[in-house]
Each structure stands twice: as C-alpha cells, then as structure tokens.
Amino acid sequence: MAAERSKKKTPAGSLMPALRLLLLAFVGLAFLAAGTVLGFIASVLKDQRVLSYDDIKQAIAPEAFSSFAYYRDGTLIGRLPGAEYLQYVTLDQISPYVIQALISTEDKGFYRHPGVSLRGTMRAILQQITGSDVQTGGSTLTQQLVKQTLLEDLYREELSGKVKGDALKRLKYRRKLNEILLALRVERVLTKDQILEAYLNRVYFGKSKDGTNLYGIQAAAKGYFGIDAKDLNLAQAAYLVGMLQGPAKYLPYNDETYRDGLERMKLVLGEMEKDGKITPAERETALAFDIRAHLVQRSDTAYARSPYLLYAIIDAAAEALAEDDLRAQGIDPDRRDDPDVRPLWEELLEKRERDVLTKGYHITTTIDKTLFDAFEAIARDDNNFWTNPPAYTAANGKRVDHPVQQVGAVLIDNRTGAILAFIGGRDFKKSKINFAFEPRSPGSAAKPVLAYAPALEEGVLLSPDVFVDDAPIVLADGGKEFAPANYDRRFHGLVPARQALAQSYNIPAIKLSLAVGLPKVIDYGRRMGLQHLVPGDEHSATAAIGGLAHGTSVAELTQAYSVFPNGGKLIPSYMIERIADGQGRTIYQHERREIPVLSEETAYLMNDMLRSVMTSGTGASIRLAMERAHGRRALAGKTGTSDNYEDIWFVGYTPTLTLGVWTGFEVKGMKLGGYPPKNARTLWPILMNKVLELKPELSPKDAAFPKAKEIVQMSACVVSGKLPTDACREGGWVKTIAFNKKYLPTVPDDRVQKARIVVVNGKNYIALDSTPDDLVLKKVLIKRDPIRIPKNPRPGVSYTVPDADLTLPTELDPRKLLPDPPSAPKGLTASYDDATRTVTLSWQPNPEGDIAGYRIYRRTLTGMEHVGSVMSHLPTTFSESLGDPFVVYTVTAVDIGGRESPPAQDVSPFGAPADVRKAPSPPKGLKAVRTDTGVVLTWDPNPERERVERYHIYYAPDKEGPFERIGTTDTPYFEVLTFADDGYYAVSAENALGESDRSIAVQPKPKNGQAPPPSPVLPGDQNGAGEGGGNGTDGTGAPANESPPKNDKGPTGLISPDGGVTASPVGSVPLSTPMDKKKKKESPDRP
C-alpha cells in the first residue's frame, strides 16, 4: 500500500519544478513589462518641467479681450464679437443645471476620480487593442481641459499628418500619457470647482444665429438665448450640454440639426434622471419646453450692422495667421488641401479664428470705406435687381416661393492685390452666405483662365486670329454621350479664336482645353488662384466652360483675371494689411508678392482678345454704358453664364482695377430661358462707374495695358497659324497677325489643300485619279476634326455647320468601275425660254453605278463643241444663254474611269433636230407701194434665229425674170426712186452661210392718192415674224385700198433737181436703175 501511494505521488512531485519555473518566468515578464512601461514613462517625464499653480492657471484661463477692425485709412470699422461672446464667469454665475448636466453626461465620476478614470482609460485601451468599431474614449473633463490648453502643440503635431505609422502610434501614446500625467498634476494644483469653471469657460458651443463663434457657457447662453449663464433653465442647459459632442451637428437653426439636438437633449435629461439630479416630472417639463421660441434675435453691434464685412475680416485674418503658422513649420500654404496637411491646417485655422476673436487684436484691412459703403448701397437698391423672379423647385427638391436674386462682387487693385471693396449679398437677414467668397459655377467666365490663356502659353493656340473650329463634338460622360452646344443652339464653323471668345462659343474653348491637357489646364487655374479646384476637375472635359466640381468664388476668379493686366504675374489678393496685438506690436504684416504664371506675351494677347469682347462681343453693352458715363478707356472682360442662366457673371478690368460680379440665387435649381432683366452684366457698369466717380485716381483714363517685348506681326495662314502656302492664299486665309515670338511659325501650313472632290449619296469623297477633271469639284479645303453628331441630338439644337463644305474628306470615292463603258443617256429634251433667251436641257440619269457625270455638246454652224459638264450628284439638267440659233445639242455619260458613252439623240430647242448649215428662208410678206417719187418696199423680218445680216432687193420687168439686184439693206424696208409704173420686185435674205431664195415677186400698186406706207419694223421692234404673208396680204402686194406708207424710220433715197442722188444709204437706189432705162426705151418722150 505504501509502495502504491509512493507511485501515485511521483507525477505530482515531478510537476512542481515546472510550475515553479512558470511562476518565476511570469513574475520576470511582469517585472520586465513594468520596467518597460516605467522606462517609457521615465523617458516622457525626463524633460517635463513640473508645472506650478501659476503655470496651470495662466494656461487654462481664457483671454477674453476685444479685437478691433479698421478700414485702410485707419477709420474704425467696429469691434469684433470676441469679448462679448467669450465672457468669463465664475462657477456660481452658472446655472446648476449646466453643471449637473455636464457631469451626468460627460464625466459621472468627476468628483471622485483624481483626474483620470481608470475604468474609462482601460476601456479605451481595450478598444484600441481589439480594434473595436466603437471608440468611446476615456478622457475625463480634466483631461479634455489639459488637451485643449497644456497639450495644444502636441495635439496639433498628432493631427498634422507629418507623423505616420509606428511613429504616430508612439506620438499618440506620448500625448495620452502626458495628458494623464498632467491631468493628475492639475487635480493636485486646482480644486474640482476651479477645473469645472475653467472647462465651462473654454469649451466651444458652436455659432450663434448671426454666425459668431461661441466659446464658454456665458457666450453660449447669450448667443443662443440672450440670457446669462446663471439664468439657463433645465431644458436650455441640457440642450447646450448636448451640443458639446459636436456643435455643428446640433445647431438649433436648421430643421435637421435641431431635431438631432432635441434627441441629444433627451439623452442628457435621461442621464440626469438616472443620476437622481432631476425628477421624471422635471424631465417631462424640460422636454415640453420650446427651445426655438426662446432663441435670441440678432443684436445691434458692428458685427450686426456689417455682417458680411466682419465675417470676411475674421476669416481673412485667421487665414493669414494660419498661413504664417504653416510657413513657420516649413509647409507651403498652397499645400493646405493636401491630405497630409489638411488636418493641421484645419486645426491651425480654428485656433487662429479663436485668437482673432479673443486676443484683443487690432486688424487693419484693405477695405476702402467710401467704396464699400457705395457698394452696399447699390446692393440694397432693389432697382438694380430683378424684383419679381418666379417661384421654382430647387435642385434639392424644395419649393422656393419667394426667391431673392443675390449678388457677389469683389474689387481688386491690380497693382497691389488689395481688395478695396466687395458685396457679400443683398441682405444678411435673407441669406447669411457671403457670395463674394462662395464658390459657384463660373460658366463661360472660366474660358480665359481654363482654355485660352493656357492654350496661348503652351503654343496650342498660336495667335488670337488663328481659326478654331466651332463644330459639333461628342464627349464621354461616364460611359454615355455628352454633346455640348452653344448658347444660341447653333454652330459657327471655323472662326478666329478672338471671335470665338468674344461671342462666347463653347466648343472652341472645350477643344483648346483638351488640346492643352486637362491636368495642365487645371494646374494653370490653381496657379492663377482658383483654390476650389479639386483633382476630379482634371477629368472634366467641360471644365473650360464651368463644368467644375465646386466652381469658383468671385474673389478667386477676379484675382485670376488680374493676372492679365499685371503682365502675366499673379499678385495674390488680400484683405488684411496688418495685425497688431493689444500692445501695438505687429504680429502680422502683409508682404506683396509677384508670382509668374503666364508670359507677358500671353498676357498681352489675352488683353487684346478680351478687349474684343468689349468692342464686338458679349460685353459691348457694358463698354457703351461705361463710355456714356466716363468716356473711352482701356477695358477688357468676359461674360459668363451657367446652365439655364442660373449663374450670371461679368469679370472686367482696366489696367489698374479688376471687378468681378456674380448674380444668381442662393438655392440652386432656378431654370431660366434667358437673361433676367437685371443681372451681373447690367450691375457691373453701375459699380465700376461709381468707383470712377468716387475714386477716379484709382483708374486713370489714360492708363494702358502693358506691352510685351516679344510680340511680332507676321503674315501667316490663319487656318493653322503656320507659314502661308499657295493653297491658303487661294482660299483667302493669309493675313498679318500677332504672334508670341516664341511660337513664330517655321513650317508651311499643312491643313489647307487643293483637292478634287466627288459627291456620292450626299457625302464628299476624294476623287479617283482616273475621274476626269471636268467631272470633279476642284476646291481649296481644310483638314479638320470630324464633325460628330450625337446619337440623340439635343432638342432645339441645329447641328448644321455653315462651312462644312470646306472640310477635306479623308475617304476615296467608294464606287467601283464597271467592266463596260456607260450607255448613252436617254430622254434628252431641249426647251427655249423667249423671255430669258435660255436653252434648258434635261435627260434621265444613267442606271450604272459608276457614272461620274455627263458632258453636254453643242453643234453649231462652226462645228461641235463641249459646252458643259454635270456631275452625277446634281440634277440632270443644263442651261445656257442662247448664243446661236443654228444649234443642236447632245449629251454623253462618263464613268469614274473616264470612259465616255455614245451620244444621246440630237435635240434642238426650236423643234426637231435639223441641219443647221444652211442659208436663211426667203423673206415673207413683201409689199410694194407706188409713191410720188418711186416705190416703197416693206416685208416681214426673218426669224431672229436665222441671224440675217442683210436683205437684197431684186427687180425684173416681168414676173418670170430675169431679176437683177438693185440694192441692199439691213432693215425690212427699201425705197426705189423711179418713175416706172410696171415691173416686179423680190427680196432675199443673207446670213453667214449664204443667201436665201428670193421672195414671191410683187408688182407695185398705184398710189391713188393714198397716204404713205407705214414705217418699217426695225430689228429689235419685234421677236421675229411668222411664216407666210404679213399684214393680211397674200404675198402679192398691198390691198387695193392701202395707201403708200410714210417713211419715218427706214432708209430713204433723195433725188436732186439735176437728177442725181444727194443721199444714197443702203435701201435707196439712184434714178439710173435698170427699170428706169427700160422705161426710157419704151417712152422716149419721158424725161
């Protein structure tokens, strides 16, 4: 039995040494860990000075001193609201409800712990170790006070973003350890009531109704409820204490944040009830209290009288000091938006805003009192604005029943960058947004900054007078198509860049920005001072026309425009000249800087282009308004309009001043069909004219924009900006224009080309080499980007480009040459228009698909000739003025290989085709009438188409002849001087091809005392005569009762007393005619 017991004890006995070793190891590790912790604590405390009571008291005590702002001439603007809204109160001046609510909600063990809550700290450590999503924190009120005061610099370093990874963890542990140790120290030096009093006088409670920052319980009580801290009731105290977790989340002025604030107040009251500080009845009474009904109205202070100005001064002063803080840490203030700098910037900005409000500073601004007062008076005058805009549904879905047209304006001195005046809004009661510094969509006002200036600087646009193409484009928009258009819903084709900017065409600006590259364009915008640009804007194809994520403020865009009159240099705009402390020591002084952004040549060219906006563009009415008031002066600028005319801009400048103006509505969503009757374009000249009236010395009338050394005038092809070519000259596109010497052209133009074009199915193609020249269009055309029409065209937009026919095709004629030559055209007809003397041919199109066109041939007396060609895309008709009546026509078809068909059947406009190689027809309508002196012959003129040049007159004693020619005339009239009573007369006609047969012979009728025959019809008095006898005769002579006609117009033969001829024009004949000789033989007794 003993042996068995011995065997059973052996295992237990063998475990004891192992357990002892484990215990010793655990103890060793514990000591080692403790040593490590103690070592870390020792390293932290090594350089830590033990703070005295005075050190701690000074650090945690608020500095509640008033700060003052001044105009540029030293005139007092007013007291900043710091002193009034940060008033130190003792604990007995604070409502007990506040203290009870604070302890119940923020630190239940406040009166029991030594400054640190062990339970809370361990919970926070455990949450950190386990990576819990819920981080409740472990800070007591004492620790929070220490963090806000004694550890402010260390906490800022933690938030700076410069420390990362394990180093950041060590920094956090260091800060937290310091926080714990200093909290323990503060608890030993100060009483609980002193700590509580200090905390309640330093903690931030958000903003009052007029936007003032509220620090401390007294400021919160005054700012929200208009009462002292000691008079806060339970509901008010619970609401204010509830705001401490995030003041902006629980502001009582906004419906959403107010609801959240009431929920937070319920939580505070619930905690108070749990702790026995209040009864359920008191809780219900507090919940029934109407917080909003007891909110304070705006007070009548300098801040209240000029809220926009005071706001801007506080923000600008805090920003100026925070920028200096960044520089002191070796950080460029331009990096404030970098992710690793942003936390530090926000921390510094918040601290400096608090300093501005509470440190007793004296802040001198750049604001000119005279101009600022004048600007505010203009802003308050309803006559300067649209007084009855319609109600609308905003972009956020809310109904805006009584919209107020708002305004933002900024005036900058170009030489210094000083902001001399601004307009923040029309009425602070109606909108607390300072529209001078609030970003809005700039619309087309962005074009000079984000398109034209970068394009000129980068050499993408060589000159203001080089063409840009205002033609349809389609942009990618998240996988969808976006087709921008112009404000007039039309496209204008190739236009000088100057005109495109002056008329504010959208497409050229977009194309220029894309050609430069969007990242580079946005970088130019940042360098010119557009601070609201974000990385996402680098992917916005419409950035140049205002398509920006956040837009720009009036102050930013006005500053950017000032780069142009400053010769390409950015002189940063500013509002704070100097900040001095309560003892008058300067703690900030503005220093003027010049930052090169653009070359002086680009600035010169931009000034030139933007002056065109004022002379012949969208700013012309503004220039006229200025000239009427103050005469001509150097003036430039640009209009801007966002979609639906929601934002309307004008930024303009003289050589010394730049003024930017925006008008629009606070709540986005107003959709207008055009410009409202009053807007930025009507307001700008009112403001600038007032400036010139009150302060003419700020912008001398004879001031001029700076010149540039390297601007050269040179002849160039304006289509591309390159050297001229013969083709460009032929197109009329060679001009002398201004260049930056850096970008003078050195190579010939390659965009303008002479081309042979055919048209197939309404589309232009390059003609095949085999296609004959007479059946192609020979044009001077331009290489240009394809004109792209969207699949879903925008309603109301005309996508017709007026000069689309100038586009050089890129494709060859797609038609294929058929094996056989074309067939002869069919259906050829000819017609003649007497009124216009025009021949018109028409025929049927050939059925072959390779027809290049048709050739028209005319056969006349002189032979066959090619008189015209008709391309296959045109109607199959041909017209020409009649040049020769002896004409027939035919047509052939020609294919794209140059092969010609047999001719079509001949046609004539005057009937069936006939041989035109013949003499005229015999004259008709011949009459012969006896007169006292002889015989008068008249006849119908031949048809004009026979081209009769002259008529020949014949005489024969007998009707059968023989006939002898006795005279010639070029009119259908002839007078024979004779005394013979018998014989026969006939007439022939002659043209270039010969003489006609003689007419029917007629015998003169006796005179019988009748009147002379009628005057002859001369060529041109009638359009040819008909066939057969004229004037009702049968061709044998005049009627028996017809008197000889009186000769008023035709040629006349006169006989002298001695029987000679005194005048013998064509159409007269002397006495000694053959007929007279015959009569003499028959009657010798007659003379």
- State the Cα–Cα distance between residues 1015 and 1021, nearest whole angstrom: 12
Name the least confident of 815-829, 902-916, 1029-1043. 1029-1043
Least confident of 662-676, 781-795, 803-817, 887-901: 662-676
Asked if 762 and 828 sit in the same domain, the reply is no
Question: When comparing pLDDT for 577 and 40, which is higher?
Answer: 577
The predicted structure's pLDDT at residue 11: 40
The answer to whether residue 676 sits within a structural domain is no
Q: Average the pLDDT over 18-42 and give the result.
A: 49
30-44, 221-235, 791-805: which range is least confident on average?
A: 30-44
| 1038 and 946 housed in the same domain | yes
Kindly state the average pLDDT of the residues 76-82: 80
Q: What is the pLDDT of residue 936?
A: 93
Q: Do 841 and 971 lie in a common domain?
A: no
Query: Do 801 and 865 have their domain in common?
Result: no
Residue ranges with strand state E in 54-94: 68-70, 76-79
**How confident is the model over 612-665, as pLDDT tens digits?**
999 999 999 999 999 999 999 999 999 999 988 889 999 999 999 999 999 999
Distance CA 757, CA 18 (A): 103
**940 in the same domain as 888:** no
Do the bridges between strand 480-482 and strand 984-991 make them parallel or antiparallel, or are there none, so unpaired?
unpaired
SS3 76: strand
Q: What pLDDT sits at residue 1032?
A: 36
The CB density around residue 293, as the number of other CB atoms within 10 Å, is: 6
Average pLDDT over residues 868-889: 89
End-to-end Cα spacing for the chain: 207
Rounded to an integer, the average pLDDT of 57-68 is 72
What would the mean pLDDT of 87-106 be, rounded to a whole number? 94
Confidence of residue 23 (pLDDT cuts 50, 70, 90): low
Quick one: tokens of 578?
A: 């100097």
**Is residue 929 domain-shared with residue 1070, that is, in the same domain?**
yes
Could you give the CA distance from residue 787 to residue 474 in angstroms, rounded to a whole number?
Answer: 9
Residue 236 has pLDDT above 50, yes or no: yes
* Residue 737 DSSP symbol: E
Looking at the structure, do residues 948 and 1077 belong to the same domain, yes or no? yes
Rounded Cα distance between 907 and 890, Å, is 6
Q: How many domains does the chain have?
A: 4
Q: Residues 1042-1065: what's their mean pLDDT?
A: 36
Q: Which residue has the higher pLDDT, 1050 or 673?
A: 673
Describe the crossing of helices 165-189 and 192-202 by its angle, rounded to 10 degrees: 130
List CB contacts of 567: < 8 A, sequence separation 6 or more.
600, 603, 604, 706, 708
Average pLDDT over residues 514-522: 97
pLDDT at residue number 139 = 84
Mean pLDDT, all residues of the chain: 85
Final residue in a domain of this structure, among 917, 948, 964: 917
Examine the pLDDT at 1047 and tell me if it is beyond 70: no
The CA–CA distances, whole Å, from 837 to 879, 883, 909, 1025 equal 10, 9, 11, 17
Q: Residue 689 — very low, low, confident or very high, per pLDDT cuts 50/70/90? A: very high
pLDDT tens readout for residues 800-833: 999 999 999 999 999 999 999 999 999 999 999 8
Cα dist from 988 to 467, 886, 922, 959, 1047, whole Å: 69, 19, 6, 16, 21
* Contact partners, residue 282, CB within 8 Å, separation at least 6: 234
Residue 1044 maps to a domain: yes
Which helix (H) or strand (E) covers residue 495, if one does? strand 493-496
In a domain, 965, yes or no: yes
Residue 421: closest CA among 663, 77, 703, 667 = 77
Question: Among 697, 695, 738, which Cα is nearest to 716's?
Answer: 738
CB neighbour list of residue 266: distance below 8 Å, 6 or more residues apart: 287
pLDDT-based confidence at 916, cuts 50/70/90?
Answer: low
pLDDT of residue 511: 97
- Residue 21 pLDDT greater than 80, yes or no: no
Query: Dihedral sign, CA of 261, 262, 265, 267?
Result: negative
pLDDT (0 to 100) of residue 48 = 58
Same domain, 968 and 903: no
Distance, in Å, from the CA atom of 253 to the CA atom of 244, rounded to the nearest integer, reads: 16
Nearest-angstrom CA–CA distance, 474 and 79: 56
Instruction: Output DSSP code: residue 1057.
Output: T
Q: Assign 85 a pLDDT band (cuts: 50, 70, 90).
A: low
In a domain, residue 543? The reply is no
Average pLDDT over residues 472-477: 87
pLDDT of residue 772: 98
Q: Which amino acid does the sequence have at 107?
A: D
pLDDT at 127: 55
| pLDDT at 1045 > cutoff 50 | no
Q: Is pLDDT at 1069 greater than 50 in this prediction? A: no
Confirm whether 981 is domain-assigned.
Answer: yes
pTM (whole model) above 0.95: no
Point out which residues pair with 756 in neighbouring strands: 778
Model pLDDT, residue 282 = 97
Flag whether pLDDT at 1081 surpasses 80: no
Span 432-440, mean pLDDT? 95
The reply to whether 291 falls in a domain is no
Instruction: Determine which of 88-92, 371-375, 771-775, 879-883 has the lowest per-residue pLDDT on average.
Output: 879-883
888 vs 35, 876, 884, 915, 944, CA distance in Å? 124, 18, 10, 9, 16
What's the confidence (pLDDT) of residue 65?
A: 67
Lowest mean pLDDT among 51-60, 719-728, 969-978: 51-60
Domain containing 774: what range?
752-806
Distance, in Å, from the CA atom of 1040 to the CA atom of 1035, rounded to the nearest integer, reads 13
Confidence of residue 234 (pLDDT cuts 50, 70, 90): very high
pLDDT > 70 fraction of the chain, expressed in percent and rounded: 83
Q: Which residues are within 8 A (CB) of 959 and not within 5 positions of it... i.e. 6 or more apart?
A: 984, 1001, 1003
Angle at 859 between CA 853 and CA 863, to 5 degrees: 120
Cα–Cα dist 878/602, whole Å: 55
* Phi, psi values for residue 460, rounded to 5°: -70, -40
Q: Are residues 959 and 1072 in the same domain?
A: yes
At residue 124 the predicted structure's pLDDT band, cuts being 50, 70 and 90, is low
Residue 785 shares a structural domain with residue 863: no
Report which of 751, 753, 749, 755 is spatially closest to residue 767, judged by C-alpha positions.
Answer: 755
pLDDT of residue 1037: 38
Pairing of strands 399-400, 467-470: unpaired
Q: What is the mean pLDDT of the segment spanning 86-113?
A: 92
**Which residues 6+ apart lie within 8 Å of 598 measured at CB?**
453, 457, 563, 564, 568, 606
Maximum mean pLDDT: which of 7-21, 34-48, 146-160, 335-349: 335-349
CA 325 – CA 317 distance, rounded (Å): 12
Residue 55 has pLDDT above 70, yes or no: yes
Q: Are 310 and 69 in contact (CB under 8 A)?
A: yes
Residue-level pLDDT at 118: 76
Give the CATH number, domain containing residue 959.
2.60.40.10
Q: What is the pLDDT of residue 80?
A: 85
User: Does any domain span residue 358?
Assistant: no
Q: Name which of 458, 562, 466 is nearest 508 in CA terms.
A: 466
- Reported residue count of the chain is 1087
Q: Which residue has the higher pLDDT, 36 or 748?
A: 748
Q: What is the DSSP secondary-structure string of 954-998?
A: EEESSTT---EEEEEESSSEEEEE------EEEEEEEETTEEPPP
pLDDT given for residue 345 in this prediction: 94
777 has which bridge partners?
757
Whether 565 contacts 604, CB under 8 Å: no
Q: Is residue 176 part of a domain?
A: no
Q: How far apart are CA 214 and CA 203, in angstroms?
A: 9
Q: What is the CB-side half-sphere exposure of residue 47 using CA atoms within 13 A?
A: 1
Q: Are 1003 and 926 in contact (CB under 8 A)?
A: no
pLDDT at 167: 81
The H-or-E segment that residue 272 falls in is helix 255-274
**pLDDT tier at 49, thresholds 50, 70, 90:** low
Which tokens sit at 56? 């701690």
733 and 857 fall within a common domain: no
Please state whether beta strands 1068-1069 and 973-977 pair in parallel, antiparallel, or not at all (unpaired): parallel
**In the predicted model, is pLDDT for residue 1014 greater than 60?**
no
Question: pLDDT at position 1056, please?
Answer: 31
Residue 187 has pLDDT above 70, yes or no: yes
pLDDT in tens, 392-414: 887 777 888 888 899 999 999 99
Same domain (yes/no): 902, 1047: no
